[in-house]
């Protein structure tokens, strides 16, 4: 395994309004005026339980941000944008992923990357049976 990342399902501090592919500028609807001051975020498709991570390279305004590369998947407007949590992967393939313990929904979409292959799994940390390595390996590849 090369990488492990996660985003909280059901979290939507802001949503994507549009993406200018040529300029790599993403415009967001940010009603709570949350500062997108971290670097790594993802556009989330909650129905397909997938996400695409991106890196903010420059804040242009409170609503527009330049990102490091174009988005590969065809995300339209109104998709949630969430902070990405990164895990660490050991040479033997084992990994560690620490997510914040918060009240409410404990469902996360986890992205496992092995070379060119990426697998998406949805886990509920309030249901430990969904979080075991066996459950992650046995789960179906992300929908879509």
Q: Has residue 18 got a pLDDT over 50?
A: yes
SS3 assignment, position 19: strand
pLDDT at res. 81: 92
Contacts of 58 (CB under 8 A, 6+ apart): 65, 66
Q: Has residue 99 got a pLDDT over 60?
A: yes
pLDDT at res. 76: 75
Length of the chain: 144
Provide the pLDDT confidence category of residue 127 given band limits of 50, 70 and 90.
confident
pLDDT at res. 106: 84
SS3 assignment, position 128: helix
Average pLDDT over residues 82-96: 90
Q: Has residue 103 got a pLDDT over 70?
A: no
Q: Is 129 left (phi over 0), alpha (psi -120 to 50) or beta?
A: alpha
Provide the pLDDT confidence category of residue 104 given band limits of 50, 70 and 90.
confident
Domains held by the chain: number: 1
* Cα angle: 66, vertex 70, 75; to 5 degrees: 100
Range of lowest pLDDT (25-39, 53-67, 98-112, 122-136): 122-136
> 107 - beta bridge partners?
124
Phi/psi at 134 (nearest 5 deg)? -65, -40
Q: Has residue 140 got a pLDDT over 50?
A: no
Rounded CA separation 139/144 (Å): 14
Domain range enclosing 105: 1-144
Average pLDDT over residues 81-110: 87
- Please give the sequence-ordered ranges of beta strands (E in DSSP) within the chain, or none if there are none: 3-8, 14-20, 25-29, 40-45, 50-59, 64-67, 80-83, 85-86, 88-89, 95-96, 107-114, 117-124
Provide the pLDDT confidence category of residue 2 given band limits of 50, 70 and 90.
confident
């Amino acid at each position: 395994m090369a990488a492990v990342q996660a985003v909280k399902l059901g979290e939507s501090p802001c949503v994507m309004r549009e993406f200018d592919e040529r300029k790599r500028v993403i415009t967001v609807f940010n009603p709570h005026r949350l500062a997108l001051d971290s670097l790594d975020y993802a556009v989330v498709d909650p129905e397909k339980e997938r996400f695409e991570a991106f890196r903010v390279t420059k804040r242009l305004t409170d609503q527009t941000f330049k990102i490091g590369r174009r988005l590969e998947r065809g995300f339209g407007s109104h998709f949630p944008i969430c902070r990405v949590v990164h895990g660490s992967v050991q040479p033997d393939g084992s990994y560690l992923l620490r997510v914040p313990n918060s009240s409410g929904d404990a469902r996360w979409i986890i992205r496992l990357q092995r070379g060119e292959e990426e697998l998406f799994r949805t886990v509920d940390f309030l249901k430990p049976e969904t979080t075991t390595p066996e459950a992650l390996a046995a789960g179906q590849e992300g929908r879509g």
